[in-house]
Structures are given as structure tokens and as C-alpha cells.
């Protein structure tokens, strides 16, 4: 799988609305808040940065996924936001793998995340520097900082077991109780911590905790654990460590080492912000970091109807084989979206359109689909395919005669030219473009009525052939040679219907995979029900259809509008010279009834 090179113009700033994060950045820039920062060329403690030159990046943001799954649509919002801000303000956005939890992380996930960010059109290369980082590269620095905190009496080794620690943490209304080990001396703690690192203690038998305040109303400040013992193989550091730093400790320090100015995260971290600031402030006082410190800013995560955006649930879908894999075109992963034919520009447009706020809300899935349609409408070449074919014979069209009809590749972009579609006396048309007993308002083909064969002639239906069961097998018609599209006077005769068709001799067989939403309810699993019960039983259908000859030349990932039907993409895995395979990305328009959305019901 090759990583597409992001094209700079592809991710060029769209017209964007301001938001509270942009306002913070603009006021910081106007005040010169970050102008004094120095940068040593790579992440480092403050005194090392101090020896560097003025930081060339006006701001630094970061995208910090944990490599324990594939990225989903929610991550796309975070990526577009962080990389987009860096781009717009002359800054840099770091790609940082937050890989401090050895058990759940894998190289496969690292690779898929790198692919997904590049595919979205963003790059962690800025001004010749590659800002690709791994929190695991900071293990030694994080360890040294912990020793400094211990030396200052700000951290201690707790030898209580997990149950005892939990029992003494207190509740939202009750303060916690001090651990009996809280008053260990710095010497004793340092000795114990070094022995933790050396592997002298069993997993889970000791933890290193910050000494903050067991009575704090914010539970995150009640002496949080920052190191635990865990003998597990790490995907990058192997067996070098048997102690691993925890998230709250790692994250803020990683930001500071990387000179991050604006550390943007989702709202559930708001209660962690005091801890983020406590740790960094102490490390400034202890001479390990310099001001200005990174500032944590929270925004509302993306909640999208009809999908699940939780790694745990996505892993379950894959492992229990409800889908074919992480890149199943129905998966709300970026790998799935790409295979489905969704576009990077569509995601960027979506991010702009939904905006950034601090208020949680639900976005209807149709908003995302509309953004994809909008982008595909401007970008996708038009092609003809007949998905559910029935034979149409033009009885007065000379046997063996072939006429080439010119069809524009894109109706709004004449510069994209035209292609020829062969017309003969025997065609495929869509079964539902014919109706023997047409209801009122049916303007397509019916006995005795006329339609235009798009880019060709007007035909009149003269009769049908049937099989023994009475089913229509062939429709007969005659054409009017004076009505060829694009010839003088052709448009003089008005018909209401305009249908697509393919010559049976020239059409090529194609496999079409018609995808629909993976879940058929707005909030799968709402009210603590099993989200798997909400799977849409009819979300993937594979059929054999016909396409115009030009489709045989399509390359994997080429996207088309199949006229009158929808947007389709040549499957990036299965499409090839021996078999043409197209996935339906999205229908031409949303035919679902409009709905209002109040968010998930608390129980249902």
C-alpha cells in the first residue's frame, strides 16, 4: 500500500469561519506570547531548547493518536483542525504517536495512521523538518523528570495494592485518604523508583504517584499515579522498560518537549487540565522546562449519527467479522472511507462546515454525505452504467449499424472533453426506466410513450416480448432519425424523460457493490443496548452490471458519477484488468426522509 504524497494545493485553506480556537491563536500571536521560544531542532527539555535558535514555527500544534486502532471520522476532525491551524498561521503540526501503553499498540496501526493523515492531504514536514514523533522516544526524559520530582518531594512510591488505592481515593463528595506510604523520604522514594526500573518488583506491586492533594475537589489531583510496573513488550522499545509512564504525565511533558503552543484536545480532558498545568509548572520551577508553556484547549468531539466512533466498538466489528476488515467500505474509518470513495477534500469541507465549538452536539450523517457529493460533483468524470439491465430493441435501426454519440465527461467542465458512446439497435436500459402500467407522473418509457435516449435519439415504445411466465424480456421501440442530440432542430420536440442506455455489444460487465449505512438507526447502541443489534442487514449488495467501454480502462481509486445513479469508485483492492469492480460511494441525492435529531435517547 503506497502512501499518497499530499499535494499542497489539495489541502490549501478553504474559506473558513473563525472560531474560538482561532481567536485564541490570533490574540496570542498579536501579543507575541510565543515569540521568545527557542527550538533546538528536536524535542528536548527547556535548557536544551535554550541553546537553539528562535523557533521558526509561529505556533506548534500536534495530532497525538494512540496507535491502538485505525483512525475514524472523529480523528479526521482533529487532524483537519490541528494541521489546518498550523498551515493557516505559519506554524507546524506534529504527528505524535502516543505509544506509552505497550500492550495495545502495534506497528500496523502506526502505518495505517501515517497513511490516513497523508491521504487527508496533510504533512508533518515543515520547512525541511520532519515533525514525526513517538512519545516512547521520551521514556528516558520522562524517567529523569520523575526522579527530579521525587527529589523535590513531589512524587512518592506507593506500595499499596490497587484495591487499597482505589478505596482511599474518595468520591466526588468525599475527600480521599492519604496513603500510609505518602510520607516516605525522597531518598527512600528514589531508591524504590530505581529498583522499580531495575525490575526488582512484581507487576502492579508499586506505583509512582504525584504528591498533590488527596482532598482536592478534582479527583485527577488526588495524587495521580504516573508510573506503573508492567512487563510487556513494546512495539518500539522492546523489553528495555518494565515501568511505563501514564497518559496524564506523558502527554503534557511531550507537548512541552516539542514546544507545542496550543494543545488541542476533546472536552473529556477539561478536568485533566489542572493536572496538565500542575506538572508543567513544577517542572519549570525545577529548571526542566521553560515558559511559555503549552496551553491545553478543549473542543467538542465529533458525534455522528448512524455510525459508532469508538475504537472499542470498531475493533469488535472487525474481530467478530461483522465487516470484512478495517477498510471495509462501510466502516467509519478513514481506511474504509477511502475504499468507499469518500474524498479527502470532502472531509476537509465537512470539518469547515461543522465548525469547532465547546458545546457537544450531534451531526447528522447526511451532512458528511452532502460534503462528499459536493466534492464529487465537481471532481468526478461522468460515465454510463446500467445496473439492472433489460433489453431495448430499436426495430428501425439498421442491423449492424454503429453510431458514435458524444457525451461530455463533465457537464460543467467542457475542458474535460467528451467521450464516444456507441449506439446500436440493441441496448440495455434500467429495468425501472420502463413501466407497463405507468403511474401518474411517470415520464420514462411506457407503451406508446416517448423518451430521449440521452446523447442520442428520441424513441417511442411499440411493444414488448414476454417469457412463458409473462415477464417482459425485451422492449421494442422505433427511433426518430431527426432528433439526434446536438443536431439542428433536435431539441424542437420536447419529451419529459431522458434515460441512459448502453449498446449490448459494446457494454462491459462490471461488478457493482452497493453500500448503504452499516447501521440503520441514528444512535446505534443508545440506552446501553447492544449496538450490534442495530446493524443494517442490507448494507452491502454485490451485483453484476454493465458499464460503458471507457470504464474498462479505469484505474483503482478512479471516481465517477454513474449518470442518474450516484458516485462510484473503482475498488482500490479488487479492481483490476481482469475484473472491473466499483463501489457505490453515495447516491446522487439523499432520498431518505428529513429528520430532526435530538441526540441519543437515554433509554430506548
Binding-site ranges for ligand ATP (CB under 6 A): 64-66, 68, 74-75, 77-78, 265-266, 301-302, 309, 311
Distance separating alpha carbons of residues 179 and 164, to the nearest angstrom: 9
Shorter beta-carbon distance to ligand ATP: residue 299 or 428: 299
In the complex, the smallest distance separating the C-beta of residue 76 from ligand ATP, rounded to whole angstroms, is 8
In the complex, the smallest distance separating the C-beta of residue 113 from ligand ATP, rounded to whole angstroms, is 8
Neighbours of 539 (CB within 10 A): 18
In the complex, the smallest distance separating the C-beta of residue 311 from ligand ATP, rounded to whole angstroms, is 4
Shorter beta-carbon distance to ligand ATP: residue 64 or 294: 64
Q: Pick the catalytic residue: 301, 431, 454, 564? A: 301
Shorter beta-carbon distance to ligand ATP: residue 154 or 265: 265
Q: Per-residue DSSP letters for 251-314?
A: HHHHHHHTT-SEEEEEGGGGGGHHHHHHHHHHHHHTTSS-SSPPEEEEEPPPEETTS---HHHH
Shorter beta-carbon distance to ligand ATP: residue 74 or 341: 74
Shorter beta-carbon distance to ligand ATP: residue 438 or 600: 600
In the complex, the smallest distance separating the C-beta of residue 88 from ligand ATP, rounded to whole angstroms, is 18
Q: Are 457 and 474 in contact (CB under 8 A)?
A: no
Shorter beta-carbon distance to ligand ATP: residue 108 or 491: 108
Distance separating alpha carbons of residues 203 and 206, to the nearest angstrom: 8
**What's the 3-state SS for 106-139?**
CHHHHHHHHHHHHHCCCCCEECCEECEEEHHHHH
Known active-site residue 311: yes
Distance separating alpha carbons of residues 39 and 54, to the nearest angstrom: 6
Q: Pick the catalytic residue: 211, 311, 338, 484? A: 311
Known active-site residue 426: no
Return the H-helix or E-strand segment holding 478.
Answer: strand 472-480
Give, as one character, the DSSP assignment of residue 386: E
Please list the residues that pair with 97 across neighbouring strands: 134
In the complex, the smallest distance separating the C-beta of residue 167 from ligand ATP, rounded to whole angstroms, is 26
Give the position of cell 478534582: 218
Q: Pick the catalytic residue: 38, 66, 197, 236? A: 66
C-alpha cell at 337: 472511507
Known active-site residue 579: no
Q: Are 568 and 559 in contact (CB under 8 A)?
A: yes
Closest Cα to residue 64, out of 343, 229, 258, 221? 258
In the complex, the smallest distance separating the C-beta of residue 301 from ligand ATP, rounded to whole angstroms, is 3
In the complex, the smallest distance separating the C-beta of residue 319 from ligand ATP, rounded to whole angstroms, is 15
Shorter beta-carbon distance to ligand ATP: residue 45 or 65: 65
Distance separating alpha carbons of residues 46 and 435, to the nearest angstrom: 76
Helices 247-257 & 273-285, crossing angle to 10 degrees?
60
Cβ-proximal residue to ligand ATP, closest one: 74
Residues classed as catalytic: 66, 301, 311
Amino acid at each position: 500500500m503506497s502512501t499518497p504524497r499530499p499535494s499542497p494545493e489539495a489541502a490549501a485553506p478553504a474559506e473558513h469561519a473563525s472560531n474560538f480556537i482561532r481567536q485564541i491563536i490570533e490574540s496570542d500571536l498579536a501579543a507575541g506570547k510565543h515569540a521568545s521560544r527557542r527550538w533546538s531542532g528536536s524535542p528536548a527539555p527547556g535548557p536544551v531548547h535554550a541553546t537553539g535558535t528562535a523557533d521558526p514555527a509561529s505556533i506548534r500544534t500536534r495530532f497525538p493518536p494512540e496507535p491502538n486502532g485505525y483512525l475514524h471520522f472523529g480523528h479526521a476532525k482533529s487532524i483537519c483542525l490541528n494541521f489546518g491551524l498550523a498551515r493557516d498561521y505559519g506554524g507546524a503540526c506534529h504527528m505524535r504517536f502516543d505509544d506509552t501503553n505497550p500492550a495495545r499498540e502495534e506497528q500496523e496501526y502506526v502505518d495505517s495512521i501515517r497513511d490516513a493523515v497523508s491521504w487527508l492531504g496533510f504533512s508533518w514536514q515543515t520547512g525541511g523538518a520532519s515533525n514525526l514523533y513517538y512519545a516512547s522516544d521520551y521514556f528516558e526524559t520522562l524517567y529523569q523528570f520523575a526522579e527530579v520530582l521525587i527529589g523535590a518531594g513531589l512524587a512518592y512510591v506507593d506500595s499499596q495494592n490497587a484495591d487499597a488505592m482505589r478505596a482511599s481515593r474518595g468520591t466526588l463528595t468525599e475527600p480521599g485518604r492519604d496513603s500510609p506510604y505518602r510520607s516516605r523520604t525522597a531518598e527512600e522514594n528514589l531508591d524504590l523508583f530505581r529498583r522499580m526500573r531495575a525490575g526488582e518488583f512484581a507487576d502492579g506491586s508499586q506505583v509512582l504517584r504525584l504528591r498533590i492533594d488527596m482532598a482536592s475537589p478534582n479527583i485527577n489531583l488526588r495524587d495521580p499515579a504516573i508510573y506503573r510496573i508492567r512487563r510487556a513488550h513494546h512495539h518500539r522499545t522492546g523489553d528495555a522498560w518494565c515501568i511505563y509512564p501514564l497518559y496524564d504525565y506523558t502527554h503534557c511533558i511531550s507537548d512541552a518537549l516539542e514546544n507545542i503552543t496550543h494543545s488541542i484536545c476533546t472536552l473529556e480532558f477539561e478536568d485533566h487540565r489542572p493536572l496538565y498545568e500542575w506538572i508543567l509548572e513544577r517542572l519549570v520551577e525545577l529548571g526542566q522546562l521553560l515558559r511559555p508553556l503549552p496551553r491545553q484547549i478543549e473542543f467538542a468531539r465529533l458525534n455522528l449519527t448512524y455510525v459508532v466512533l469508538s475504537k472499542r466498538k470498531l475493533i469488535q466489528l472487525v474481530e467478530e467479522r461483522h465487516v470484512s476488515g478495517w477498510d471495509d467500505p462501510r466502516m467509519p474509518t478513514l481506511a474504509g472511507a477511502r475504499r468507499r470513495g469518500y474524498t479527502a477534500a470532502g472531509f476537509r469541507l465537512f470539518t469547515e462546515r461543522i465548525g469547532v465549538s465547546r458545546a457537544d452536539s450531534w451531526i447528522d450523517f447526511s451532512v458528511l454525505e452532502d460534503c462528499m457529493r459536493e466534492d464529487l460533483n465537481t471532481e468526478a468524470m461522468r460515465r454510463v452504467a446500467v445496473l439492472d439491465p433489460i433489453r431495448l430493441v430499436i426495430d428501425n435501426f439498421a442491423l449492424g449499424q454503429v453510431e458514435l454519440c458524444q457525451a461530455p465527461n463533465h457537464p460543467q467542465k467542457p475542458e474535460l472533453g467528451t467521450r464516444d458512446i456507441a449506439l446500436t439497435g440493441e441496448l440495455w436500459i434500467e429495468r425501472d426506466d420502463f413501466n407497463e402500467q405507468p403511474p401518474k407522473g411517470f415520464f420514462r418509457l411506457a407503451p406508446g410513450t416517448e423518451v430521449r435516449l440521452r446523447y442520442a435519439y428520441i424513441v417511442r415504445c411499440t411493444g414488448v416480448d414476454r417469457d412463458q411466465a409473462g415477464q417482459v424480456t425485451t422492449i421494442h421501440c422505433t427511433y426518430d432519425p431527426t432528433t439526434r442530440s446536438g443536431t439542428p432542430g433536435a431539441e424542437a420536440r420536447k419529451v419529459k424523460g431522458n434515460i441512459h442506455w448502453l449498446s449490448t455489444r459494446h457494454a462491459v460487465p462490471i461488478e457493482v457493490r452497493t453500500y448503504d449505512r452499516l447501521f440503520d438507526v441514528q444512535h446505534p447502541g443508545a440506552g446501553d443496548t447492544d449496538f450490534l443489534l442495530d446493524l443494517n442487514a442490507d448494507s452491502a449488495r454485490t451485483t453484476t452490471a454493465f458499464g460503458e467501454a471507457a470504464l474498462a480502462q479505469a484505474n483503482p481509486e478512479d471516481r465517477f458519477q454513474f449518470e442518474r445513479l450516484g458516485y462510484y469508485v473503482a475498488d482500490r483492492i479488487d479492481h483490476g484488468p481482469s475484473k472491473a469492480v466499483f463501489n457505490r460511494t453515495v447516491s446522487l441525492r439523499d432520498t431518505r426522509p428529513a429528520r430532526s435529531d435530538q441526540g441519543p435517547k437515554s433509554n430506548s
